[in-house]
Structure 1
Amino acid sequence: MSNDQDLSKIERFFTSLLFGHRKAVLVLFALLSVFFAWQATKLRPDASFQKMVPVTHPYIANYLKYENELRPLGNVLRIAVQNKNGSIYEAEFLETLRQITDEVFYIPGVDRGNLSSIWTPNVMWRQVTEEGLRMGPVIGQGFQGTPEQIEQVRSNVEKSGRIGSLVANDEKSAIILAPLLEVDPETGEKLSYGKLSERIEKVVRDKYQNDKVSIHITGFAKVVGDLIEGAKDIAGFFVITFVLTVILLFWYSRCWKSTAATIFCCSLAVIWHLGFVSMLGFGLDPYSILVPFLTFAIGVSHAIQNVRTMAAERFHGATKMDAAKATFHLLFIPGTVALLADAVGFSTLLVIEIGVIRELAISASIGVGVIIFTKMFLLPVLMSYADVTPSGLRQVAKQEGGDHKVSHALSRLTEKKVALGATAVAGGILAVSMVLSSGLKIGDLDPGAPELRPDSRYNQDVKFLVSNYSTSSDVFVVMVETPEGECGAYPVASAVDRFQWEMENVDGVEGSASLFTVMKNIIAALNGGNPKWLSITRDRFISNGAHKNIPTALYNAKCSMTPVILFLADHKAETLKRVTDRVEAFAAENNSDDAKFILAAGNSGIEAATNIVVEQAQKTMLVLVYSIIGLLVWWEFKSFRVMLAIMIPLFITEVLCKVIMVQLNLGIKVATLPVIALGVGIGVDYGIYIYNRLESFLAKGLNFKQAYFETLRTTGVAVALTAVTLALGVFTWAFSAIKFQADMGMLLAFMFLWNMVGAIILIPALIRVLAMGAVTKRFGPSVVKGLN
């Protein structure tokens, strides 16, 4: 049995099932909808540190191995408290700083043992005296805020060496460092960054910020918290999209029944989608919260074909039942293949080993899956009851009776000279675009948190810290593994000392710190402060004596690992690559049984790993998305050359999208990489619908030009409206407070619209240039009869 016969058999089966048992179908869909709506109510915001990073990458695996030891250098909140009218050395301000430190201490999820500020006992001062090395907490017990005690605090801060790190260079603000636990030890549940951010805002910023004190908060958790807060506006954007889509669909169809049935089915798809996601145990993070927009937009865009076909069948005299059946028959195969192509585009994102992207891929694939049921199966059944209104039939008559000047003009693309010209222009655009897109980079290209807008509160807080503190917030941590108990031994000290000297000479590294940075200062202090002793030592007794005074954050409990902290000028992709390459080169040359340098921790180390994963995954993802979608197109149309004609416009649009990214100073990263897969996966729909309709007219004996004119006349406006609907569904994201959502919205809107333009203009031209032989072989010599 041929493939066409198999498909025809499947169509007959579903036609009989759906239209022979319409009431049972409606009852089943109603019950499922109630169930999925109940499941959807269980959805909660969900974002975690490990979901945002590639946990399988060796760098991250190394970090997670020592996560507890590196917590003070990992997921940390930095809360800067500024005295607007003076310095920190005022009794009122110091009392405010103490109160804020206490507030932060009791926030669930804060690692209280590693909390640091000038009020905590783990922040010490050291001084060399005639009696030897003296030390103590910066603010001791019994502090009452007297002038003498405040002056002592000033002296202790200077002796602590924390100016530029915990205390601002101008001494007008001080930082509270709050390392975070991924799991709340009190509840055993995963830390909620949304709740944490709300709590910080409520008990710190809202409570203490006034005309005398300002609060500035940075850190990964705050970024995610602000993303979750900004994502709350997404419901408003969805309402706007919903209303605009209803208006657009009614304007096109002039039939309130078709519009209502379509919007109902697509809204149902969103509910099913959310319920299914909840059943899988997923939540809504700032990335996946956008997927319901896509589900709704994809559903409506595909349903436009149903609306147009149903109205046309009724206009030509079919009963409402026959028209519904004909609509199902005409659109079942191309619609299903197009939706499968969408799902393939989404599923290729699974090659990116980052939790939020994989959940986005699964969520989007589920969204497409439910559209197949609600749009392909439910909508035709509903339309068999609803029918088309008289105004909808008049709209069809108006569309059928127009002069179709645009369709006549575009049908000339089937003429050989015009087709060659269009193909040449497309080739030129592609060549220029590939040159311009060569400047596209991997990773973040902007300071601060590029996920948020430059004028966001968070990025203003980052700007404050960068301007007032010497210690960079962009920290790259290299872990040095040693034999147990040997982390302070001379062979390790020698290797680390050479490593720090070499890395401090790398462009983009502002400074470094390690166990041995402190050890050298302590050795010099124990020897009268003589700078000649400011060095590492071979004498184990001297190093052991110094070691007991070194903060435990600089080595683990077994003394088998010590971190080297590199402070970077920024976290731009080229800086991270330069640092990473140099660290790996040093490790390859110097790793030994005594000291093994492994990457990477710190926010910049983790981002470097993410960039590597994104760079590798983008190539694999593109190969997969084009290969699998191309295979689906070939399977449906049985021609390699036709497949090329449909796929080439997608490739041109992809390259043009990269040009726009270069112009907007956007790199390929977690937020932008999905755009390409989504754009290609959804963009192929236009080509599938156009060529499927074209084939139906060629099968009736029309030549290529006549068939393409009829294709444009009957379904061209529907295809254009499909693109507009899709673009509208994502363009409202451009107004989001979250920059990466705005970027995704603009890029996807461009790809959806340009893929439509490319399909309408290039597919007939490319078929004429590349595939006329294959088309003629299948449909006979009538295809080329009378063609120029």
Structure 2
Amino acid sequence: MHSPSPRTGAAAQIASLSEFDTRSGSRLERMVFNHRLAVIVCCALATIVLALTAWTRLGLNASFEKMLPRSHPYIQNYLAHRADLRGLGDSLRIVVENKKGDIYSPQYLDALRRLQDELFLTPGVDRAWLKSLWAPGVRWTEVTEEGFRGGPVMPDNYDGSARATEQLRANIARAGVAGSLVGNDFKSSMIIVPLLDKDAQTGQRIDYRALSHALEDMRVRYATDAQGQPTGIEIHIVGFAKLVGDLIDGLHQVALYFAIAALVAALILYGYTRCLRSTALVLGCSLVAVVWQLGLVAAFGFELDPYSILVPFLVFAIGVSHGAQKMNGIMQDIGRGAHRLVAARYTFRRLFLAGLTALVADVVGFAVLMVIDIPVIRELALSASLGVGVLIFTNLILLPVLLSRVGVSSAAARRSLRDEQEDGGPGQGRVLATLVRFTERRWAIGTLAATAGLLVLGLAASMHLKIGDLDAGAPELRPQSRYNRDNAYIAANYSLSSDTFAVIVKTDKEGCLRYDTLVEADRLAWALQQVPGVQTTVSLANAVRQITAGSNEGSPKWLTIARNQDVLNYGAQQASVNNPELFNTDCSVMPVIAYLADHRADTLERVVAASAQFAVAHSNDERRFALAAGSAGIEAATNIVVHKAWNQMLVLVYAAVIALCFITFRNWRAVVVAVVPLVVTSVLCEALMVALGIGVKVATLPVVALGVGIGVDYALYLLSVQLAEQRAGATLAQAYGRALRFTGKVVALVGITLAAGVLTWAFSPIKFQADMGILLGFMFLWNMVGAVVLIPALSHFLLQPKARAPAAQQDSIGHAAAQA
């Protein structure tokens, strides 16, 4: 059995409180442990107040506005002309299918009318722009000998008779809405429902969960009659509001996964300690941190959304990590015979600085996400930073105080001490002996060579990492989810998708009616039609061309943009009747709308490149082509912001971690040893994203920052003990071996615990949660493996004093250890 190190043996010499000088230690230590009851009471009161705040004020919702990178020029262009671009932002597309016939069935049309009326009265709907076969604004036009004739697609006197049905059939043909408002097989029709920013009556933001539930209620009611028999009506719904509603519903299952993760952590911790009270205290203090975080989020007026809902678990996981280290240190000192208060104070002295540095690194890792100009990410960053910040009080201060009061079971303490000895069990001894060998030159060279090979392969794979969505539909949900099945049905039966990309043409008043402006808009539409992934384009130029030909007996010779201003004015006037969304009231803004086959990253990149190139070449003082509106335009802008933020975020988080490690160790070699494993894990995580087909987007952007911030904890705890032992005169092998026994086992324990907890997310119905679970599980494990394997290998070359090394170098290592 090895003799206790100077950093751990002092506590064993004080078995009675009468032998301990309560005036020793730092001012913070004396303030905390000399007033333990006050600390416990203050924390209890804070927990009660914040729990009540969270219970009464915390909500779960999402906002379309919060998903917009508002400082990006594309989004500024969209917001500046939002009132002129109705239907090109937040909207729902609801397809009503007749499974027992076609759309001309009187029963079907009656159901469609009743559904439209319900939607028309639904809070938050922009009623003036709602479109369906029953909407009076959906019209048909034809040319006759007497001139233009037209009217609403739905006949005014429709009564379900055969004559009225034939008239409707003719009107649909004349309106040309097949493939847009009517399915190509004429078995379904669409209701387009634009949404307002806020409920006009209450002034509050739209409650997407309530709206989603109302839509689901309609889906169920129209599918069955009063007797419970199927009507043959099936409703398919897509749109941001429905997606968020489904996500929020799915996120209620997060509580189940949270409970599973907490249970897994409890079982693993109890299996390691065999001490019920210490396990309960570690989990309890981590849960207290979650309560504080939720209460603070509510107090600041924020709410949980589908992207920040995972933050409470991350706070819990980080709390378990630090709590397990404190519990392990106290348990070992008690096993050596120290009084529980003495053990708690000495563990506080040994590990508080390392824990504080690690938590500050975690806070910084979250806080750098604030540079991303997407409100939902900024709120996530603030929420997570608050949660990790409170861990300083709950797990670095409250937990040691509580353990100093209740202690640990004597059997667990003895077992911990026995396992910590060099001559522990044969299995454990072999593992520790193997890990210590990584400090030897031959093993260190092999480890670094293998790491370099993995790094090269990871870098090669990460070059293929894509920004944005890589799948059709909503990648946040499973392919078999109802939302994605609805999206697949609409894509298969309609010519025009819901993925719209709009270029805004801005002119002076009445400028969009000028011949040269319409010609340029038409050229843009033609250029976009040549881009792979663009289904078709719609603009005022198209409508004017069709009306001009119709005014001249439908002659194809007149299927053009006339130079005569009167002809153009007439064409625009007629177009405004059927398609008022093609230009605003003073004709100073008109969109050129491209309908895309999907919103995959490659498709958006091609469309943006073509549009931007055209805008630069053709904008002048009379007209300006501005990107972008429409659902695809907004997503393209988001992808651009995410792409820029990806590298910026990595640079900032690593700069912050390096600075904190340098402040802690005051030695650049120790900083390199701590940071290199994180770099390797980050690169391999990007390679894993490529292999799994996961793109970088709002949902996955925080993962690498979180992995770096949390992963540095392992290195800080290991290096703190290792450098302290080296300063005391131990060789590198001895120092690293003792670091493994004192904190390394808990590092492995925490890595496995956290990975096991987040990997349960892989079974979530929410795909982005499953993706985050897989990526975080991978990073937790690889950060742990990298710490216990790479730290000794790198230390062999960077932190092992040479036989003839100058004294200044050895003093530098000793100073780094002292700072730890």
Report TM bin, short chain. over 0.9
Q: Distance in 2 between matches of 1:777 and 1:100?
A: 82
Q: How does 1:519-530 map to 2 (within 5 A)?
A: 519-530=544-555
Superposed CA deviations along residues 709-764 of structure 1, whole A, max 9, x for unmatched, are 11112222111011122223322221211100100010001001100000100011
Query: Which residue does the alignment assign to 1:663?
Result: 691
Secondary structure at 1:479's aligned position in 2?
strand
Q: Deviations over 1:48-95 (max 9, x none)?
A: 111112111110111111112212122110000011021101111111
Measured in 2, the distance between the counterparts of 1:297 and 1:628 equals: 22
Whether the 8 Å CA contact 1:100–1:204 is kept in 2: the answer is no
Match for residue 716 of structure 2 among 673, 676, 688: 688
522 and 10 in structure 1: CA distance in 2 versus 1, 3 angstrom threshold = farther
Check if 1:152 corresponds to 2:172.
no
- 1:437 aligns with 462
Q: 1:114 aligns with which of 125, 129, 139?
A: 129
- For 1:384, the aligned partner's letter is S
Residue of structure 2 in register with 1:296 after alignment: 316
Does the 8 Å CA contact 1:730/1:749 hold for their aligned counterparts?
yes
Number of the residue aligned with 1:273: 293
- For residues 379-417 of structure 1, the C-alpha deviation after alignment (integer angstroms, 9 at most, x for no partner) is 111111111112312321441333421111111111122
Q: CA deviation at 1:700?
A: 2.1
Which residue, out of 402, 414, 426, partners 2:425?
402
Gaps in structure 1 of 5+ consecutive residues: 1-8, 784-788
Deviation, structure 1 residue 201: 1.0
SS in 2 for 1:71: coil
Q: Which amino acid aligns with 2:79?
A: L
Aligned to 1:38: 52
Q: Is structure 2 residue 43 aligned with structure 1 residue 15?
A: no
The equivalent residue for 1:531 is 556
Question: Given the alignment, which residue of 171, 175, 184 partners 2:190?
Answer: 175
Partners of 2:466 and 2:620 lie apart in 1 by 35
Instruction: Give the conservation status (yes or no) of the 8 Å contact 1:701–1:782.
Output: no
Q: CA deviation at 1:140?
A: 2.6
Matched, 1:631 2:659: yes
- 1:609 matched to 2:615? The reply is no
Instruction: Name the counterpart of 2:386.
Output: 366
- Aligned partner letter, 2:730: L
Which AA in structure 2 matches 1:714?
Answer: F
What's the offset of the Cα at 1:631?
A: 0.8
- Is the CA contact (8 Å cut-off) linking 2:503 and 2:591 kept in structure 1? yes
Please state if 1:162 is matched with 2:173. Answer: no
**Structure 1 CA distance for aligned equivalents of residues 414 and 794 of structure 2:** 36
Contact 1:491–1:594 (CA under 8 A) maintained in structure 2:
no
- Tell me what 1:378 maps to: 398
> Which residue type is aligned with residue 717 of structure 2?
Y
- Deviation digits for residues 199-219 of structure 1, max 9, x if unmatched? 111134444464511110011
Among 259, 272, 277, the residue aligned to 1:257: 277
Q: Tell me the residue number matched to 2:235.
A: 215
Residue matched to 2:478: 453
Given candidates 369, 373, 378, the residue that maps to 1:353 is 373
| 1:486 and 2:511 are equivalent in the alignment | yes
After the TM superposition, which residues 499-514 of structure 1 pair with which residues of structure 2 at under 5 Å, given as runs? 499-514=524-539
Partner SS, residue 702 of structure 1: coil
Give the letter for the 1:282 counterpart: F
CA positional deviation for 1:528: 1.3
Q: Which amino acid aligns with 1:678?
A: L
Query: Equivalents in 1 of 2:122, 2:402: separation in Å?
Result: 53
- State the AA in 2 paired with 1:626: Y
Paired position in structure 1 for 2:567: 542
| TM-score of the two chains, using structure 2 as the length reference | 0.93
> Given the alignment, which residue of 60, 63, 80 partners 2:95?
80
- Counterpart of 1:321 in structure 2 is 341
Q: Could you tell me whether the CA contact under 8 Å between 2:96 and 2:235 is conserved in 1?
A: yes
Q: How many Å apart are 1:327 and its aligned residue?
A: 1.4
Distance across 1 between alignment mates of 2:473 and 2:813:
63
Q: 2:415 and 2:380 mapped to 1: Cα distance?
A: 39
Matched, 1:285 2:285: no
1:577 counterpart SS class? helix
Separation (CA, whole Å) in 2 of partners of 1:737 and 1:70:
34
Task: Output the TM-score relative to the length of structure 1.
Answer: 0.96
Task: Return the alpha-carbon distance in structure 2 between the equivalents of residues 715 and 740 of structure 1.
Answer: 33
Going from structure 1 to structure 2, the CA distance change for 1:148 and 1:425 (only over 3 Å counts) comes to same
- Does the 8 Å CA contact 1:698/1:779 hold for their aligned counterparts? no
CA contact (8 A) 2:260 2:757 kept: no
Partner SS, residue 72 of structure 1: coil
Q: Which amino acid aligns with 1:716?
A: G
> How far off its partner does 1:264 sit?
1.4
1:430 deviation in Å? 0.6
For 1:647, the aligned partner's letter is V
Identity within the alignment, %: 47
Q: Secondary structure at the match of 1:288?
A: coil
What does residue 332 of structure 1 align with?
352
CA contact 1:125–1:136 (8 Å) conserved in 2: yes
CA shift for structure 1 position 357: 1.0
Q: Which of 56, 60, 69 does residue 71 from structure 2 map onto?
A: 56
Residues 361 and 712 of structure 2 are in contact (CA less than 8 Å); yes or no, is this contact kept in structure 1?
yes
Paired with 1:10 and 1:497, the residues of 2 have a C-alpha distance of: 82
Q: 1:339 to 1:158 in 2, by over 3 A?
A: same
Runs (4+) of structure 1 exceeding 4 A deviation are 773-783
1:306 maps to which residue? Answer: 326
Q: Aligned equivalents of 2:561 and 2:102: distance in 1? A: 37
Distance 2:204 2:182 in 1: 34
Instruction: Output the CA distance in 1 between the equivalents of 2:774 and 2:463.
Output: 21
CA–CA separation in structure 2 for the residues paired with 1:782 and 1:628: 22
Query: In the alignment, residue 683 of structure 1 is paired with which amino acid?
Result: G
**Quick check: 2:69–2:373 contact (8 Å CA) kept in 1?**
yes
Aligned partner of 1:786 in structure 2 is: none
Partner of 1:645: 673
Is the Cα contact below 8 Å between 1:703 and 1:782 reproduced in 2? no
2:78 aligned partner, one-letter code: Y
Offset, 1:778: 5.8
Q: State the distance in 1 between where 2:674 and 2:416 align.
A: 28
Once the two structures are superposed, the pairs formed by residues 124-135 of structure 1 within 5 Å of their partners are 124-135=139-150
Q: CA deviation at 1:777?
A: 4.8
- The residue aligned with 1:392 is 412
Q: 1:60 to 1:10 in 2, by over 3 A?
A: farther
2:361 pairs with 1:341: yes
1:676 aligned residue: 704
Structure 1 distance, partners of 2:231, 2:25, is 71
Match of 2:628 among 600, 603, 608: 600
Verify the 8 A CA contact 1:495 1:595 in the aligned structure 2.
no
* 1:782 Cα offset (Å): 11
Kindly indicate whether the alpha-carbon contact (under 8 Å) linking 2:519 and 2:541 is maintained by their aligned counterparts in 1. no
Residues in 1 aligned to 2:676 and 2:437: alpha-carbon distance in whole angstroms: 20
Amino acid at match of 1:502: A
How far off is 1:513 after superposition?
Answer: 0.5
Secondary structure of the corresponding residue to residue 715 of structure 2: helix
Q: Deviations over 1:100-149 (max 9, x none)?
A: 11111111111111000010100001111111110000113232101100
SS class of match (2:463): helix
Shift of 1:694: 0.5
User: In the alignment, which of 743, 752, 755 is matched to residue 727 of structure 1?
Assistant: 755
- CA distance in 2 between counterparts of 1:526 and 1:131 reads 10
* Maintained 8 Å contact 1:253/1:307: no
Structure 2 segments unaligned to the other structure (5+ residues): 1-22, 225-229, 815-820
1:633: Cα distance to partner?
0.5
- Tell me if 1:138 matches 2:153: yes
CA contact (8 A) 2:667 2:813 kept: no
- 1:738 maps onto 2:753 in alignment: no
Q: Could you tell me how far apart the structure 2 residues matched to 1:731 and 1:276 are?
A: 28
CA distance in 1, matches of 2:797, 2:192: 65
Amino acid in the other structure paired with 2:319: G
